[in-house]
Amino acid sequence: MATPIAGNVQRSEAVEAVLEELLASMTWEQKLAQLQIAFRPRLEDAKDLARGGIGAVFWPRSAEATNELQRTAREETPHGIPLLVGLDVVHGQRTTFPVPLAQAASFDPAVAGADARISAKEAASGGVNWTFSPMVDVSRDPRWGRVVEGFGEDTHVNSVFGAAKIRGYQGESLANEDSILACAKHFVAYGQAEGGRDYNTVDVSVQRLRNVYLEPFRAAVEAGAATVMAAFNTVSGRPAHANGNLLTELLKEEWGFEGVVVGDADGVVNLIEHGVAANLGDALQQSYAAGLDVEMGGNAVSVDGVALLSPGDVSSERVDDAVRRVLRLKHALALFDNPYRDAALEVTAPSAETRLAAREAAEKCLVLLKNDDGVLPLVASRLRVLLVGPYAESNDHLGAWVQSFAEPAGTLADSIQAECPDWSLTVKEGTGFFQEDPALLADAVSSAEQHDVIVVAVGEPSSLTGEASSRSDLRLPGGQEELIRAIAGTGKPFAVVMFNGRPLVTSAWIDSAPTVLEAWHLGLEGPAAVARALSGQVNPGGRLPMTFPRSSSQVPIHYDHENTGRPATVSARMDEDVVDVALMGPGNTDDRYTSKYRDLPLGPQFAFGHGLSYTSFGYGQIQVEKEELALEDLREGRVFRLDIALSNTGDRSGDEVTLLFIRDRVASLAQPVRRLRAFSRTTLDAGQTELLSFDLGWSDLGFWDNQGRYVVEPGEFEVHIGGGLENNAHTVVRLT
Ligand code: NOJ
């Protein structure tokens, strides 16, 4: 039986024979040259590298330049091996989609799939054949700027969205001209960087590593990810780049990963600063020996062909294995047949079709956090709307990890003019992102009187999000909090729209704002999506994929925490039927000796899964086919089938995200109070009812122990189904 290499590409004897022959004719230096990717912005420098037989380069920014590089590699090297051409295509190439964290808020993996497919088509048309995406680092600390690149705090959500991205990038077949290799990153546990500080240390137990951080990577490998990127961080003392337990024993041996492990930018060089390698040669040797296949930086072989390692520094079997992995992917991409792309067909701008896809995606990511007085939607005609705040006229909507050549987004003011032509719109800045200006503030406030409603567009500029953008203070920067409070002081109805790439702390103003719409950084069509939601053409249906804390000091905070021995929330009690008690407080604040902060109310500001709608939804009771199953039957593939009726109880159509959580009541290791095991997003017309079905099986009810074994233990499992963490329908199933 053939083994898949990546995607649906099967290993074939014929290809293996060709590759073996090629390998046998390569020198040590030629082999090592294949095991690196270099970043050289100047085409002439990149051509020198190609002549030297390098295996991979970063994209030289056009199909024409890429063709030149490929031609150099094909025609001016002894073996004519084509190049892998890599680029971070994270949420768009020409057509920018919402940032990944926002995509997760859609709870609709089709959003990630559409982004990846369109991104792959656009990037591949220019000669890119490898993206360093998706990031599937579970992220529970919003101080870490990179939370914007992943799918939030939940393991299951990261697994599902990561897999959707991988399938989208890699397409039906890797050999198709519009398919590119995906890369699941950063392996592993980067999301647990201490203090949320980028590049910082990670120390993690086996059970947490397995249950939380590794699962999305396992899902990525199962989805056929062609490559995996090592993380910058240490994992329990050993940097990931030189961690043989992770790269070889776990990823390649236990999971059978057949693709390529690539290092992060200078991640091998950084082993010296980590203090585990004496010099660059030592760092390279340790990394390749640990299972790294491609070094990112281009340090293994110099342009003139001098290798930093000698035969014997790393076993020839290991080097051959790495080269085979690289060559197999090149073969799977059909680069040996044709590495060139028709420069005339290079996509250099979004089309009407890709714009529409980006807009539909953006609309699905909106989360209505509050709508106390039903301020939104603004449906009256001839409405006098005052738009204030630094995001009113900013075009900073594309978000972190966006291409410098991507089509720019317009402004919210322009989109409101276009989408809501019968409003009378006035725009006032009110404050800059960082500078407080009393004159601007006074001008905005004095204008309020002449308007029916005020939209306050605030946020965190995308330059404060992404790599190397950790923050210690999660509030809106500059004078924005003051602007919101000043607008609240006018007594006029108003809605706050937040544009940001991480959960923000809103406690200084949230109680004074009746309505808050979370709009993230939604990409090219973000402003249009927001305008359409403000005016009710779109009904927001997204949910938070990450907890919004009350204070920056409350992090890390996540819904799937363990109970502790002294929980402060009442839901923690095991001696009563607690399944329907609110998880998030008010809870047991009288007892001093419980787990909490004495100067903060219990729980977060907005919990994971929170999100409202312009309509309302109701759930029936959970119907279980069988309340009890034998462990052995579950192992054999039997499942608990759960049905629940979902109804749109309001007066307009809308989308409901349904979340299914479990709680293992008693286990040999302390289990989270809730674990998300399934979710769905359903569109229902007013008054419509639909029956939803979910299956819980072997892979849903167990956990990984500290010996790295997956165990399912008999006992009672609470099942909670509903539109968030609270007030859910519930039942108990038993394993005997
Ligand atoms: C560093 C980042 O950590 C990684 O995510 C990215 O893919 C590489 N740089 C390449 O740009």
For residue 110, what is the domain's CATH number? 3.20.20.300
List residues bridging with 696 in a β-sheet.
640
Ligand 1 midpoint to CA 271 (Å): 16
For 338, residues 6+ apart whose C-beta sits below 8 A from its C-beta are: none
264 in contact with ligand 1, CB cutoff 6 A: yes
Place of tokens 């529970």: 140
Report the domain count for the chain: 4
Same domain flag for 72 and 175: yes
Query: Which atom number of ligand 1 is nearest to the Cα of residue 183?
Result: 7
- Report if residue 351 sits inside a domain: no
pLDDT at 579 over 50: no
Of the pLDDT bands very low, low, confident and very high (cuts 50, 70, 90), residue 578 is very low
185 in contact with ligand 1, CB cutoff 6 A: yes
- Which of 132, 186, 261 for a ligand 1 pocket mutation test, highest count of atoms within 8 Å of Cβ? 132
Q: Find the largest Cα–Cα distance for the chain.
A: 80
- Report if residue 638 sits inside a domain: yes
146 in contact with ligand 1, CB cutoff 6 A: no
- Report if residue 62 sits inside a domain: yes
Summarize pLDDT for 37-62 with one digit per residue, the tens.
999 889 999 999 999 999 999 999 99
Give CA–CA dist 414/641, Å, rounded. Answer: 49
Same domain flag for 53 and 137: yes
Query: What backbone torsions phi and psi does residue 721 show, to the nearest 5 degrees?
Result: -130, 130
Kindly report the number of other CB atoms within 10 A of residue 626's CB atom: 12
Same domain flag for 470 and 594: no
Residue 587 pLDDT: 57
Place of tokens 């990153």: 185
Q: Region 413-417: what's the mean pLDDT?
A: 98
- Which of 87, 185, 262 for a ligand 1 pocket mutation test, highest count of atoms within 8 Å of Cβ? 185
Residue identifier of the C-alpha nearest atom 10 of ligand 1? 265
Is this prediction's pTM over 0.95?
yes
Place of tokens 């991507």: 406
Ligand 1 midpoint to CA 264 (Å): 6
Ligand 1 midpoint to CA 52 (Å): 24
- Report if residue 570 sits inside a domain: yes
Same domain flag for 338 and 461: no
- Report if residue 327 sits inside a domain: yes
Tokens (6 digits) for 476: 């809106």
CATH number of the structural domain spanning residue 714: 2.60.40.10
Tokens (6 digits) for 329: 């992917």
Helix (H) / strand (E) containing 658: strand 654-664
Using alpha carbons only, give the angle 153, 156, 162 rounded to the nearest 5 degrees: 90
Tokens (6 digits) for 614: 């312009």
Summarize pLDDT for 106-126 with one digit per residue, the tens.
999 999 999 999 999 999 999
Same domain flag for 591 and 521: no
525 in contact with ligand 1, CB cutoff 6 A: no
Give CA–CA dist 268/277, Å, rounded. Answer: 9
Distances (CA, A) of 706 to 99, 133, 700: 34, 30, 18
- Which of 57, 131, 148, 229 for a ligand 1 pocket mutation test, highest count of atoms within 8 Å of Cβ? 229
Tokens (6 digits) for 441: 């503030």
Same domain flag for 71 and 144: yes
467 in contact with ligand 1, CB cutoff 6 A: yes
- Report if residue 264 sits inside a domain: no
Distances (CA, A) of 361 to 96, 98, 109, 141, 521: 10, 7, 10, 25, 12
Query: What backbone torsions phi and psi does residue 296 show, to the nearest 5 degrees?
Result: -100, 115
Of the pLDDT bands very low, low, confident and very high (cuts 50, 70, 90), residue 10 is confident
Q: Using the 3D structure, point to which of 547, 576, 603 is the last residue of a domain.
A: 603
Q: Region 350-354: what's the mean pLDDT?
A: 98
Same domain flag for 399 and 511: yes
Give CA–CA dist 291/319, Å, rounded. Answer: 9
Same domain flag for 597 and 627: no
**Which residues does the annotation mark as catalytic?**
264
Same domain flag for 593 and 636: no
Give CA–CA dist 621/646, Å, rounded. Answer: 10
What b-and-e string marks burial along 641-666, b requiring 16 or more CB atoms within 10 Å of the CB? ebebebbbebeebbbbbbbbbbbbee
Residue 588 pLDDT: 57
Same domain flag for 523 and 380: yes
Q: Using the 3D structure, point to which of 289, 316, 345 is the last residue of a domain.
A: 345
Q: Using the 3D structure, point to which of 576, 603, 630 is the last residue of a domain.
A: 603
In which domain, by residue range, is 467 found? 360-534
Residue identifier of the C-alpha nearest atom 4 of ligand 1? 264
132 in contact with ligand 1, CB cutoff 6 A: yes
CATH number of the structural domain spanning residue 399: 3.40.50.1700
Query: Which atom number of ligand 1 is nearest to the Cα of residue 149?
Result: 5
pLDDT at 167 over 50: yes
pLDDT at 733 over 60: yes
- Report if residue 158 sits inside a domain: yes
Query: Does residue 170 contact residue 224 with C-beta atoms inside 8 Å?
Result: yes
Same domain flag for 521 and 562: no
Same domain flag for 433 and 523: yes
- Report if residue 256 sits inside a domain: no
In the sheet with 130-131, reading across from the earlier edge strand, the strands are 130-131, 84-87, 56-58, 36-38, 295-296
List residues bridging with 185 in a β-sheet.
135
Beta strands in 154-255 (DSSP E): 183-187, 227-230, 234-235, 238-239
